[in-house]
Structure 1
Amino acid sequence: MIVFLSSLRRWILIYLILVTCSCINNKEAVIKPELVDYVNPYMGNISHLLVPTFPTIHLPNSMLRVYPERADYTQDLLYGLPLITTSHRGSSAFNMSPLKTLSDTLNPVSHYSYDREKITPYSYQVYLDDANILVDYAVSHQSAKYRLTFEESEDAHVVLHSKNGALSWDGTAVSGYQLIENDTEVYVYIKPLVTPEHVSVIKEGIKIDDTSAEGHHAALVLTFHDEVIDHIVDIDYGVSFINTDQAKRNMLREVGGKTLMEVKNTGKSIWNQALGKIRVEGGSEDDKTVFYTSLYRCYERPVNISEDGRYYSAFDGRVHDDNGRAFYTDDWIWDSYRAHHPLRVLLNPDKEEDILNSFILMSEQMDRFWLPTFPEITGDSRRMNSNHGVASLLDGYRKGLRNFDLNKAYLAAKNAIMEKTLAPWSGMPAGELDDFYKEHGYIPALSEGEAETIPEVHPFESRQPIAVTLGTAYDEWCLSQLAKELKLDSAYHYFLKNAYNYRNVFNATTDFFHPKDKYGKFIEPFDYVFDGGMGARKFYGENNGWVYRWDVPHNVADLIELMGGRENFIHNLNQTFSEPLGMSKYSFYAKLPDHTGNVGQFSMANEPSLHIPYLYNYAGQPWKTQKRIRRLLKTWFRNDLMGVPGDEDGGGMSAFVVFSQMGFYPVTPGMPVYNIGSPTFDTITLELSNGKSFKINAKNYGPENIYIQSATLNGEVWNKPWFSHEVIEAGGVLELEMGDRANKAWGAAPEHMPPSAEPLEPTMK
């Protein structure tokens, strides 16, 4: 009997242990975050100068984007509730203002004190604390749902506002439009799920009985009685760039008949699927938040504006059939070609093909067959310098993307570089400045006090002669490679020769790219830190000479040669990261507000700097790339409100973070290779569209183990600090043995240097 009781107690104890473990495991399974739960939309909402990011609610690359409208995160008041934001950092096209009571004088948009704000990529909640109104929101691709809960209220009022357009009530819903730039109109269809008792308009602050309003600050007031709504007003709406009927169809297709929670759950699932193309293991929870937040930012632009097989193009002002392919716009190519497009080639190649195809369609739709430089919802704004869309076309093609017309792509890019002026921020045809470039191989700079006389040059943006000369040399290298793919031998040799034009402005005495006047003389005296006025635009562009010193991504090998070899190249790189500002921060940033996130003269906050830390790989010191990358990530990209160092550009900078945390980076878009850095996780797995996966294992990973000791690729010893795109596409495993001290021999041999542009033939020099 004693033996039996002892045995029974033992089995009871085992049972209790098993039940307890099961409960613990189940609890862990319940609370384990999904990938989208790692996204922190507030990361980077504040910076020491610019506004890097906005807490955007949207689905991946979708037309409907919103965020709380306020001057910046520190602004204490909300400016109504948003319905659609038509550009990456524009204001809301339509606003909605819920009110419990109407005052004698009404504003078309109300300002709200708020609290308990919660934002996810797919939903929004906020409590308007003075008004005692709870707001709940869920977004789809082209439509969304609001739920407004009016606490302790007898009536409820909702003011709808169009900044410059019209709104009208037809007894069932509100429809209207707003005129934005370039004669582009955005339309809305708003359906309250309970019919309002009364509809009126606001004119000059007074409520007037009417059902339509038009002009600046057109506003309608919908009034609901509490016995009908029971404190709650549910509102569905759709948006369109075609017409209000299409906005209604978008609403019915996406959110009609669905609950708020159903729309939220759908959005959450879509985001988990998009983020799940890359799985990371190990690292800290903050590392994962930075990674998945950065990946979420990479899906903010460009946006798919196809609606039921049609889209409105601001490039010709017409509605087109999309022929079964989505049309994308709002792509700031000067920022996005460097890492954003290459990341999409890996994760969403079919989508990238549609985006590149959209570039070609835009070119055909515009007055001249020129590749766009800064395509937006309202057309091509022709911002910034150079025509780097050609790099994305080449990069996609060289990495196996074929579902776009390469002949048309080449012609559109060639025309944009040869027929359009190279002057920044201009859509004018080529003129005197361009004739000089074609003859002499560089853009001439103006001397101190010399007046600008060329009409193509933007009065504020100036010539940016070094930025344009270097950028165009890279663009012409891309053209040479497209010509090579098309077997256009004469064009290939012509553009390859021009791809070396950066040599024409290299000052061998200083090892900087130095502005020259029209007589071929360097501008003297010259300060590479501070000269060039606001944003250094008179010579460079947003960044100073220290950043543009490295702007030859297609031919790093030749840049090393220009600087006298590997040793001096490394010296100059080191100096970039250690050179002091040379003046107070106040003075420096007053002239160079985009050149933030400084480590010496290096700027982590602007896209022309992104490839610079990887250049050590080309000169035999990959360990310094590993060191720089990990320090830069830890210093400037953090899970907090100030966790982005400068203007993030809707994915342009975040793509650098995604690549760098994975442990590799595309230094030269158009060259299908990646430079190896230092991963921030134990394991990174890319799920590829071809059904294969590519995995990076960081053995002995730890926060202090930032240096690669050795590497294998698919089990074979790998001593190169780079690998090809084919390696990823084929699937496999890159295994990196990590340690806390540099192995200075790994990847250092000259024969292991990443590739650069092909040399000129002797007869071409």
Structure 2
Amino acid sequence: MKNSYLPFTFLLIISGLANAQTKPAEKLVPYVKPIIGTQRMGHTYPGATVPFGMVQLSPETDSVGYELNGKYNPKVYEYCAGYQYEDKTITGFSHTHFSGTGHSDLGDFLVMPTVGALRLNPGTADKPGSGYRSRFSHQNEVSQANYYKVKLDDYNIQAEMTTSTRVGFHQYIFPKADDAHIVLDLTAGIYNYPDKNVWTYIRVVNDTLVTGYRQTNGWAKNRVLYFAMRFSKPFISHGFRNESTKEVYRGFWGKFNQNRNFPEISGQRIKAYFDFKTTEGEKVKIKMALSPVSMEGALANMQAEVPGWDFEKVKADGQQQWESELHKIVIQTNNKATKENFYTAMYHTLINPTIYMDADGKYKGLDQNVHQANGFTNYTTFSLWDTYRALHPLFNIIDPARNNDMVKSMLAHFEQSPEHMLPVWSNSGNENWCMSGYHSVSVIADAIIKGNAAGIDANKALDACVTTARQRNYEGIGFYIDMGYIPDERNGTSVSSTLEYAYDDWTIAQLAKKLGRQDIYEEFYKRSQNYKNVYDKASGFMRPRLANGTFRPKFDPLTTIGQGFIEGNAWNYTLFAPQDPKGLIELMGGNKRFVPYLDSLFTMHLPDKFFEETEDITRDGIIGNYVHGNEPSHHLAYLYNWTNQPWKTQERVRMILPKMYKPTPDGLGGNDDTGQMSAWFIFTNLGFYPVAPGSDAYALGSPAIDGATIQLPGGKAFTVTVKNQAEKNVYVQKVLLNGKLLNSLSITHADIMNGGNLTFYMSSKHR
């Protein structure tokens, strides 16, 4: 009995191990809900894209002009992503979108299928029948990673779309119709106004292929995007409308009249339409490939990425890309809502920056010349004021090779820049000059300091950072260098810019220290202490300072407009010195004064005037005076770690998470800002956060999941284990790193990248 029993048991164990090893990994794409953040001020879009894709194919629910009755139209801000969940109509599907920004642009090459009388204007939302727009219902809408579907009720057309990196793939299921149309509107766009289009061009190559381009002067001042559009079915006729001249040109393939039916047209505001006869349930498919270089480049991109017409394969391939990216962090939780929040946050962090080059590596640079990306992938959409804080540090953990390419893209930008500056907020071969600081230096320094410098000349990168920080004519830098602060009379954001420059200078100092450049280290470390020069001890706030050295007499720390700050007020910006929390606490009078001040940020009640000062400010994303929807506040909850009450960090972050993130259309407490809001959520759920990128340290918080495994390059893994996790157990009793008690409130980048285990023991009572 004994001898026969053991082999049988052994076989059962081996069989169980084999089954465990072959058990497929859980699919994570089903937890991604792109509809999150599409209501109110999240400014995300529900359409299809692949990770970091150049195409973002998504519906537009309205297009509004920059001005209304001669004044700024606040609705422009609502339509930064082109889609608002509460709207009842869709105007079409365009191919480029920003995810979660506070500014509008893009919305290129709008396509709309229709049946019945031809209409070439979208009409108005209150009268859908007045144009080509259609009513729709969310009940007939599906939004997934790399897949979007909706029924256009006015036309009984089912619209589906998916993408590859450079190709948008449409699939329209038509009813029986002798008057089916595809409208291509090159006048449509986000952040729309009459002179945004500089020039547009369309060429009908044959009865299935159309090429062209659009040049715009919007947020990006000189932006040209090319397309190649191929139909799965020949159209029977086509036509153009030139809204500059109000003329309509009708073309019938094979019967050209060079005066009216020539197969190409150009002008400032061009539209086209293509006519079909369809049978019931017939699928008309369209592939729209994009290129920043040429129409030939767009065609080559189409051939390289989507040569055939298998819609389901393109969808599946893109969703597999998402699976691979999402599996870089696998969390443990039994809460479905938590998984939906987490993996939608992962999704949003993996949209931007976006690839900006053809399949052969060619791209248009800042100098408007065509360049070849040798040895790296070129990226654009750098919202650096937002993303230096947590998004790029996240990439340094889960995808350092990609972040390395982003750094190389920034350095290429510097080489092409006539101002010899690294990017501030760049898009599509343009510098938008939006927001303050020169935060690309933080991204570059953080990557190199953390060992992510393959193929980068680190000293040359430091030189680019130094050159940028010495540009005396940019946004008060000359005054900042000479006086140690920017005078209030010289710059409308004098205080916040001084504070942000000081942080950026600290990152330059850290990079110089790593490279042994002592002279640069001393210069920029001294500059990093300039934050102290705008602190007014009498009032206890960072405060606008005049050129004569005195502080501005008229001052309101709760006012957001005209007080020397950007996207914040003195109350929260006074806490902005992430490079030197200890020094800031000492400056403000030590723990006795600092902790109550930090407490007040979360508990105070803002007066109504705070929201009435500007139509752009809402109550979204605000807890007390803590404005989670504005990035300068993102490190604030972690500052308790430098005080005698570190348990309050744990309490605050666990309070913020459910208030600011929900698995609903209105589930983002502010703009996602190309992934920064989502990156904060990911780090905070894991239990640590990069308070000061440029340092190798991560401040510990309070993990809100049961555990996680982070897949690292080289096959390593870093796991987070959480003991006694519960909604009320927000406090950390002890932390073990690789089985040894951790006696600090931080871990290092090497701790993570070497692989290992971080174990939190949770309780309902703080230590």
Answer whether TM exceeds 0.5 for this pair.
yes
Supply the AA of the counterpart residue of 1:216: Q
Report matched runs for 1:255-294 at 5 Å: 255-294=306-345
Report matched runs for 1:643-662 at 5 Å: 643-662=667-686
Q: Which residue of 2 aligns with 1:581?
A: 606
Supply the AA of the counterpart residue of 1:576: L
Whether 1:213 aligns to 2:248 is: no
Whether 1:247 aligns to 2:298 is: yes
Q: Cα distance 1:35–1:205, how it changes in 2: closer, same or farther (>3 A)?
A: farther
Q: Which residue of 1 aligns with 2:34?
A: 41
Whether 1:438 aligns to 2:481 is: yes
Q: Which residue of 2 aligns with 1:481?
A: 510
Report matched runs for 1:566-577 at 5 Å: 566-577=591-602
Measure the CA separation in 2 of the matches of 1:591 and 1:143.
37
Supply the AA of the counterpart residue of 1:170: V
Q: CA deviation at 1:645?
A: 1.1
Q: Which residue of 1 aligns with 2:186?
A: 162
Q: Which residue of 2 aligns with 1:692?
A: 716
Would the aligned equivalents of 2:212 and 2:226 in 1 still touch at CA under 8 Å?
yes
Measure the CA separation in 1 of the matches of 2:120 and 2:420.
52
Whether 1:232 aligns to 2:244 is: no
Supply the AA of the counterpart residue of 1:550: L
Report matched runs for 1:292-307 at 5 Å: 292-307=343-358
Q: Which residue of 1 aligns with 2:43?
A: 52
Supply the AA of the counterpart residue of 2:495: I
Would the aligned equivalents of 2:368 and 2:429 in 1 still touch at CA under 8 Å?
no
- TM-superposition CA deviations, 1:540-561 (whole Å, max 9, x none): 1110001101110000010111
The farther-off stretch of 687-696 and 164-173 is 164-173
Would the aligned equivalents of 1:52 and 1:644 in 2 still touch at CA under 8 Å?
no
Would the aligned equivalents of 1:105 and 1:205 in 2 still touch at CA under 8 Å?
no
Q: Which residue of 1 aligns with 2:211?
A: 175
Q: CA deviation at 1:512?
A: 1.4
Whether 1:613 aligns to 2:637 is: yes
Q: Cα distance 1:712–1:197, how it changes in 2: closer, same or farther (>3 A)?
A: same
Q: Which residue of 2 aligns with 1:6?
A: none
Would the aligned equivalents of 1:473 and 1:500 in 2 still touch at CA under 8 Å?
yes
Whether 1:630 aligns to 2:654 is: yes
Measure the CA separation in 1 of the matches of 2:611 and 2:121.
42
Would the aligned equivalents of 2:110 and 2:184 in 1 still touch at CA under 8 Å?
yes
Whether 1:99 aligns to 2:114 is: yes
Q: Cα distance 1:661–1:96, how it changes in 2: closer, same or farther (>3 A)?
A: same
Find the partner of 2:95 among 72, 83, 99.
Answer: 83
The farther-off stretch of 395-404 and 153-162 is 153-162
Would the aligned equivalents of 2:697 and 2:746 in 1 still touch at CA under 8 Å?
yes
Q: CA deviation at 1:106?
A: 6.4
Measure the CA separation in 1 of the matches of 2:120 and 2:301.
35
Report matched runs for 1:498-537 at 5 Å: 498-530=527-559, 535-537=560-562
Q: CA deviation at 1:316?
A: 0.7
Measure the CA separation in 1 of the matches of 2:466 and 2:133.
50
Q: Which residue of 2 aligns with 1:191?
A: 230
Q: Which residue of 2 aligns with 1:201?
A: 240
Report matched runs for 1:544-583 at 5 Å: 544-583=569-608
Number of residue pairs aligned between Structure 1 and Structure 2:
686
- TM-superposition CA deviations, 1:476-518 (whole Å, max 9, x none): 1112222222322222112111111111111223321121111
The farther-off stretch of 372-381 and 266-275 is 372-381
Q: Which residue of 1 aligns with 2:134?
A: 112
Q: Cα distance 1:537–1:248, how it changes in 2: closer, same or farther (>3 A)?
A: farther
Whether 1:309 aligns to 2:360 is: yes
Whether 1:325 aligns to 2:376 is: yes
Would the aligned equivalents of 2:202 and 2:210 in 1 still touch at CA under 8 Å?
yes
Q: Which residue of 1 aligns with 2:66?
A: none
Q: Which runs of 5+ in 1 are unaligned?
A: 1-24, 424-432, 447-453, 455-461, 744-765
Three-state SS of the structure 2 residue aligned to 1:253 is helix
Three-state SS of the structure 1 residue aligned to 2:694 is coil
Q: CA deviation at 1:295?
A: 1.0
TM (norm. structure 2) is 0.86
Q: Which residue of 2 aligns with 1:399?
A: 450
Q: CA deviation at 1:441?
A: 0.7
Q: Percent identity?
A: 30
Q: Cα distance 1:73–1:537, how it changes in 2: closer, same or farther (>3 A)?
A: farther
Supply the AA of the counterpart residue of 1:273: S
Runs of 4+ off more than 6 Å: 104-109
Supply the AA of the counterpart residue of 1:376: N
The farther-off stretch of 413-422 and 253-262 is 413-422
The farther-off stretch of 577-586 and 233-242 is 577-586
Would the aligned equivalents of 2:226 and 2:290 in 1 still touch at CA under 8 Å?
yes
Would the aligned equivalents of 2:442 and 2:504 in 1 still touch at CA under 8 Å?
yes
The farther-off stretch of 377-386 and 579-588 is 579-588
Would the aligned equivalents of 1:69 and 1:81 in 2 still touch at CA under 8 Å?
yes
- TM-superposition CA deviations, 1:298-343 (whole Å, max 9, x none): 1121111121333323401011111131011111101000001100
Three-state SS of the structure 2 residue aligned to 1:84 is coil
Q: Which runs of 5+ in 2 are unaligned?
A: 1-18, 63-83, 124-130, 188-196, 252-260
The farther-off stretch of 671-680 and 74-83 is 74-83
Q: CA deviation at 1:421?
A: 3.1
Q: Cα distance 1:415–1:122, how it changes in 2: closer, same or farther (>3 A)?
A: same
Find the partner of 2:697 among 673, 678, 692.
Answer: 673
Would the aligned equivalents of 1:237 and 1:248 in 2 still touch at CA under 8 Å?
no
Supply the AA of the counterpart residue of 2:250: I
TM (norm. structure 1) is 0.86
Supply the AA of the counterpart residue of 1:554: Q
Q: Cα distance 1:569–1:232, how it changes in 2: closer, same or farther (>3 A)?
A: same
The farther-off stretch of 397-406 and 107-116 is 107-116
Would the aligned equivalents of 1:201 and 1:220 in 2 still touch at CA under 8 Å?
yes
Find the partner of 1:469 among 498, 511, 515.
Answer: 498
Would the aligned equivalents of 2:363 and 2:373 in 1 still touch at CA under 8 Å?
no
The alignment's C-alpha RMSD in Å is 2.3
Q: Cα distance 1:591–1:74, how it changes in 2: closer, same or farther (>3 A)?
A: closer
Supply the AA of the counterpart residue of 2:710: L
Measure the CA separation in 2 of the matches of 1:270 and 1:207.
43
Q: CA deviation at 1:438?
A: 2.2
